[in-house]
Structure formats: structure tokens, C-alpha cells
Structure 1
């Protein structure tokens, strides 16, 4: 893009041509004029002209208008080939921090660190991005529908560019992705040229402190990044109108923040849960998240933004890997019992081993039975004591036989429960993902059996006596269906 020389403004005003002709080396090229404010530029077609004749952007062109000043003979100042020191345009790149709306003929050397699209492709779509310069300063940029077609294929997250000419407007939307007071809008004379540039930083996450979210001490209109491990699944709701899932995120200090994911983000989370629920801690990284201010008894919470957010779950990104390493004190890897400090297989130094339950029980329903594998969380809830506490009492009673089953395990007998399980044919058992003694939930599960009309509903919560020989096994009710009434229960920790 080249600005039209002042002399032609005087001759054309107020009737500017739509196109002019560039003639060079026996060829003629149509070049469109673009207006921006009171200024005009040679724009569309100029890139093809340079490419055809091998003329680099750094080479100076001289124009001579001989046919009513709309046909220009173009001369090149200096050789095109073998030019050792081309004459460059003296324009130092502007700094993002200095953008204040006073000028719009900006030249920026930047990296696109985030890119997303809003609207319907081909109809109302626009691109939005965050760019960063060599000082690490960021600004929000919008390429609206009328300009997107020309630039969509050139815009790539992570790539570096030289960009020229934008409309500068106030950054005053309801939610903002940068704290810069201004944002940039693509216009007809915007130029974007991808090139390899050094010294431009990669994306840096702006992780929010859970304490600030809980205390409500954050700027509510500024989108933030958040990372944590899923500590508790609250509920989800799916309808033709909207989709929503709510869970608690926990940081390394065991602080909890409620997180809500909507629509596509909800689907992504639930699909991951379906395939990887029992494979380890679920570490979630959500960028450009909204902060919802607390109301009454409801504390502050976070949720995804409409399209600007990116949801990443347990992927090999540096922040997730670093979080996982620091989360290792919560590791559930299996190890032998060491009486002295040791290093876990995951690499974490431990003062001592922490005992956890892994109990195989026989369950029955009517005249059928099978084996279920109960893990630490379920056993602790049903027994009312942790494995460490049970072992301590066992030793205090003088029972040092590690192979002897603690008396406390008898408390597992006789429970009537609804289970969600993962079938493991290779081990000839099913591992328990969730369980509940809630009667309403149990009756909901009973209703799903094919012979539900012949099943007696449970009406009382009278616990079985563990000494009763008739009830020497766990009673259970379990079914696998598309509608899972157990979905709202807390997640089973990784074993």
C-alpha cells in the first residue's frame, strides 16, 4: 500500500478515480484506490504488481502520470536484482503501549498470541485476536466481516507479522480481553504481512489468584486465565436451548472456585469426562474466563466467555505439566509401605506412605452377584474412617499382622447402594466410579430396569446389622443408561 502523492490530490479532488493503471516493463496493472479519512492509497493490485516484477517492498517506486493522471509509468529507483543495500522506508515500528488514538497510520511488529472467530462463517463472521509486541504489551484487534475475506487465510495464531494502519477505538465492551484502553479495527487500507521476526514473546498466561476471585477483588469486566484440578462435580443440564456443567476447581492451596461451562465448552468437558474419568487428576486450563460477581450467599465464580475462551484438559502444555508436578503431594500412585522417607515412582519425596483403601466386595441384586472394586473415597465415606486411621487403631490394639483384615471393614457389609461402575472384563470385576445411598436416587435407578414394574420400591433406610448372617454382602443396584442420575455426585479421586 502506497499513499497517493499530494499533487494528484489537488488534480483529482473531489472526483477521485476508482482505479488507476500502473505501467512497467510493457505490462499494465489495474490498481484500486482506497480512501481512509481524507487520505487515499494505492491498494488492491499493488501486491500482484510487485510480485509480477519481483519488486520487494523495500524498493522505492517513482510515478509519472501522463494520461489524465490516471495512467502511471512506474520506474524503480535502484536495481531490483543484486541490490546489496536496498533503500528502506524510514519508519520505526510503533509500540503498543504508546497507542492513544492520536494517530492511525501505525506500523506494528507483533505476534498473534490468541485468535478466535465469532459469528457464522461466510455470513456474519469476524476474527478477533490479541497481539503482543517486543515489550510484551498486548492489545485487542478486530477484523470485521467486510475485511475478513481478504485476510482470513493469512491470520494464524502464533505467527509473527508486520501490520500497518488501523482504526483506533476505545476498548469499552462489556468484557475486555486486554487492559489496554484502546483496541484496533481492520480497515480498507490495513496491511498485514507475515514474516519471521525475532524478539517477540509467546503467549503468557494471566492466571488469576483464587483468593482474589473468592474475595471479589478483581476487575469484573476483564477476562482472565484460570487453572486448577476438578475437585467436585456439582451438576450438569442439557437441553435443546442450552448446555451447562458446573464443577469446583481446586488450586494447590485447596481453595475452591465454582466454574461453569456453557454449550460447546460443556460438551467438550463432558466428553472428556466420559472417556477419562478414572485416569487421573483432571486439570483444567480455561483462558479468557469471565468472573461473575457474588450475589447474596452465592460466592464469586468463573465461566467461559462466548467464543474467546479456550478449554484445555490434561494436555501436555507447560502450565498444566507444572501444575501437575506441584500437585504431586496428592499423588495416588501405588507403592510399598516404607517406614522411612522415600521417593514415590512419580518423583515426589515423601516423609511416609499414606495408606489408602482398595477393597474388593461381592455385591448382589435379587439372585445375581458380582465383584465391585471400591476405592479410597467410597470406603472412607462408608466406613467413616480413613485407611490410615483404621491401621493406627489396629496397631494400637496389638494387631501387627498386615495380612489380617481390619474389623472396620465389616462396616461395608449390608449397605444398599446405587453404583456407577466401569466394567473391567480383564480383571473380572467392575471398578466403582460413584455410589450413593440416597433413596430417591436408588428408586430412580430402579425405575430404569426393564422389569421395573415388578421391583419393590425402597421405603426405609433401616441399616442392616453387620452381624446378621443373612446380609453378609453389600446389596447394590446398578444400571448403565444414557440418562445418568448419578452424574451430580462428586468425582472419584484418581487411584
Structure 2
């Protein structure tokens, strides 16, 4: 039984939005209080890695601006980094609005300024939606807008980028066998490996057309439906989802390459590739076959579900293609450039199996 509760203290709005002016006034600041903010992204700093209490952590900084021109710095940690990282190299000219739900306020010890940050795993990010908070924000925003830019270094946390960390030799590269051995150690790790074949013929998916959503569309009746935006589409934007098999000198594993990494490696969008590609083995585009044999540094997300089924692939968060950097962290992999490292499969066949094979041939 559902009753309509009408009480003066009962919240009637979905979000508890705070203005930037309220947040930046330190009076009455409670760092344990969770609230929501909405703003337009004008700067995104390069993702970084930091060792905190002996554990590798990731962070990304970005700056929000409200319709009055007030700016607010935001820091996302660990699993939230990938939510905004995809927009770091975006070339879109459209304004990117984001609603950060369940965030905290923090006072920067160096500058004394107030910033917001994610709160463990409860924080949510919503991009360019059509809901009332976004519509109201758009109405208040002037046409003369600060353009969004990506910043390689000069983060508010420390002055170096994740790329310079790789060059300095501060990153720790793990082997595939070490990843599988330490099943209780989760997080993001660097692995140096070679792509030896494409592990799945399905290399793309149809994603939601809402800016910043990228959710895989599901068939619902005659339409494609986005569960995040709750919108129907006639067709979606094709994005890469390429499952590859990688090897190092002592193991192999399935890795999952997403749209941004494949764009960097192939140089053509999934939409264009589907329309123009020439078929190679197993019906795969020949352009995808150029990935085979590449020695790369992969930043992978190691989660519990990967060890529940060894066919589950590790999601690739970032790649480094520079051969000098790869050689620096995995010289033995470069030295065996011409050696076939494809995993060998040993089978024990009975006479009945051999008869079946002979009959099939």
C-alpha cells in the first residue's frame, strides 16, 4: 500500500543541489555531509597515480563553472576516474554538463580553497541529461562560454602527469601470472604484454546517442533502449569493444579494449570501419588484425569477478604505445620480438575423438 506523504520536511526534489557560492563559503562547512552539485566542465587534468598507505590510487581533477562564472575544483578517486577520463581527449565543441551526486567538500591545506571530491563508491556522475536540473542550468548559461580544455600537467594535487610517471620509471609493472596468483589483490595495474589474436568476433556495440552516456543499447520491441537515460533510439552510435588475447613471457589473459584505446591504435571510428572495412580472417576487419603483434603497456582494472571465470576479460583503462617506454619497463618482451608467444593448448584425445575428427575431415 502506497500513501501520499505531504509533510513540510519531506524532500520533493530528487537532488540536494548546493550552489558554488554556498560551497566556497567555509562557514559551517561539514566535510562529512554529502550533497549534489551541477556545473559545466571547463578543464580536465590528466589522470594521476599516487601511492597512499602503500596502495596505488588513481585520481583525476577537473574544474566546474556555474552560470555566474564561479569555478570549483573537483577530484575523483579510483573507480570514479574512468567516468570523466573518457572526456579528457574529447574534441567535442558542445558544452559538457555534469551533475555530481553524493560528493563531499574539502578544504585544500595549501591554498585554503574549498573543493569537492568523490566519497568512496557512493558518488554518481550524470552527463548532459534532459532532466529538470540540466534544463534549468542551460537556461541560465550565457552563450559566451569558457571553452573546455585538457591539461597535461599542473594538477592541483601534484605537478606531473601519468605519462611523465611512466617516463620516470615510477610505475610498477606486474606479470600476468602475478595478477592471477594474487587473487585477493584488486585495483588498477600496469602489465606489459603482446596482443597475439582477437578473442571474439564481436568487435563493436551500439551505444546510446545521449552525449556522455555511451551505455550499450538493448533491443526493446522495435526500438533500441538505454537503461540509463530511459530513452528509445532507432539506432545507436557504434563503439569499439574488442576482446583480445595478450601474452607476456609467463602467461596469457583476455583483455578488453574500449573505444578510446581502439581509436588511438587504429585511427578510425567503429562507425566508419564497419562501413568501409575489408574482411579478413573470421570476418574481422583487416584493420583490427593490425593489432596483432603489438607490444604495449596496459593499465588494467583487476576486479573480483575476473577470477570467478577465467574467460572474463580485464578491462583496459589506458595504454602506452611508445616503444621506448615499453622497452624500458619490459625489455625482455622487446628482445623476443620475432618469437611466437601465442598460448599453446594441449589436448588429450581418445580413439573416439580421433575417429570423429577423421570423419569430419
The TM-score bracket by the shorter chain reads 0.3 to 0.5
Which structure exhibits the higher relative contact order, with contacts defined as CA atoms closer than 8 Å and separated by 6 or more residues? 2
Give the TM-score normalised by structure 1: 0.33
Give the TM-score normalised by structure 2: 0.42
Bigger radius of gyration among the two: 1
